[in-house]
Amino acid sequence: MLTFDDNRIGDTTYAKPLLDKFGFKATFFVICNKTTDKGAMNWKDIADMKKDGMDIESHTMTHHQSTMSQKQLDFQIGGSKQCFAANGYNATIFAYPYDDGSQNKTVVDTVARYYNIARSGFEPLMFLDCKGYHNCTQTDCKTFTSTGKLNYANRYTARSFTENLLEQGDLFNPVKIMADFSNVLNSQLSYNSNGIIRAIPILVYHNVGLQNGKPYSTQVGLFSQEMKYLHDNGFKVVDMAGLGYNSSTNTFYLKNSQIGTKLQFQITFPRRSVRYLVD
Ligand SMILES: [Zn+2]
How many A from CA of 204 to the centre of ligand 1? 10
How many A from CA of 156 to the centre of ligand 1? 16
Q: Name the residue ranges covered by the structural domains of the chain.
A: 2-277
The proportion of the chain whose per-residue pLDDT surpasses 70, expressed as a percent, equals 92
154 strand-pairing partners: 157
Tell me: pLDDT of 125 over 50: yes
pLDDT (0 to 100) of residue 65: 74
pLDDT (0 to 100) of residue 271: 46
pLDDT (0 to 100) of residue 148: 94
Amino acid at 55: D
Report d(CA 142, CA 274) in Å as an integer. 29
How many A from CA of 97 to the centre of ligand 1? 5
Tell me: pLDDT of 230 over 80: yes
How many A from CA of 32 to the centre of ligand 1? 12
How many A from CA of 106 to the centre of ligand 1? 20
Amino acid at 69: S
Cβ atoms within 10 Å, residue 26: 22
pLDDT (0 to 100) of residue 195: 83
Instruction: Of 187, 158, 147, give the one whose Cα is nearest residue 92.
Output: 158
pLDDT (0 to 100) of residue 231: 97
Q: What are phi and psi of 20, to 5 degrees?
A: -60, -45
pLDDT (0 to 100) of residue 275: 42
Mode of pairing for the β-strands spanning 158-159 and 117-120: parallel
How many A from CA of 260 to the centre of ligand 1? 32
How many A from CA of 73 to the centre of ligand 1? 16
How many A from CA of 101 to the centre of ligand 1? 13
How many A from CA of 59 to the centre of ligand 1? 7
Query: What secondary structure does DSSP assign to 50-107, as a single string?
Result: HHTT-EEEE--SSS--SS--HHHHIIIIIHHHHHHHHTT----EEE-GGG-STT-HHH
How many A from CA of 6 to the centre of ligand 1? 5
How many A from CA of 58 to the centre of ligand 1? 10
Tell me: pLDDT of 102 over 70: yes
How many A from CA of 192 to the centre of ligand 1? 30
Average pLDDT (83-110) is: 96
How many A from CA of 208 to the centre of ligand 1? 14
Q: Of 79-83, 156-160, 240-244, 270-274, which range is least confident?
A: 270-274
pLDDT (0 to 100) of residue 67: 77
Query: How does pLDDT run across 46-81, given as a tens digit for each residue?
Result: 999 999 999 999 999 999 877 789 999 999 999 999
Do the Cβ atoms of 233 and 275 come closer than 8 Å?
yes
Q: Of 28-37, 152-161, 187-196, 219-228, which range is least confident?
A: 187-196
Kindly report the CATH class assigned to 2-277.
alpha beta
Find the radius of gyration of the CA atoms of the chain. Answer: 18
Do the Cβ atoms of 119 and 202 come closer than 8 Å?
yes
Average pLDDT (80-88) is: 98
pLDDT (0 to 100) of residue 276: 37
Is the four-CA dihedral 110, 58, 130, 261 of positive or negative sign? positive
Do the Cβ atoms of 94 and 132 come closer than 8 Å?
no
How many A from CA of 95 to the centre of ligand 1? 8
Mode of pairing for the β-strands spanning 126-127 and 199-200: antiparallel
How many A from CA of 102 to the centre of ligand 1? 14
Give residue 261's pLDDT band: very low, low, confident or very high (50, 70, 90). Answer: very low
Report d(CA 279, CA 276) in Å as an integer. 6
How many A from CA of 206 to the centre of ligand 1? 8
Query: How does pLDDT run across 146-198, given as a tens digit for each residue?
Result: 999 999 999 999 999 999 999 999 999 999 999 999 999 999 999 998 889 99
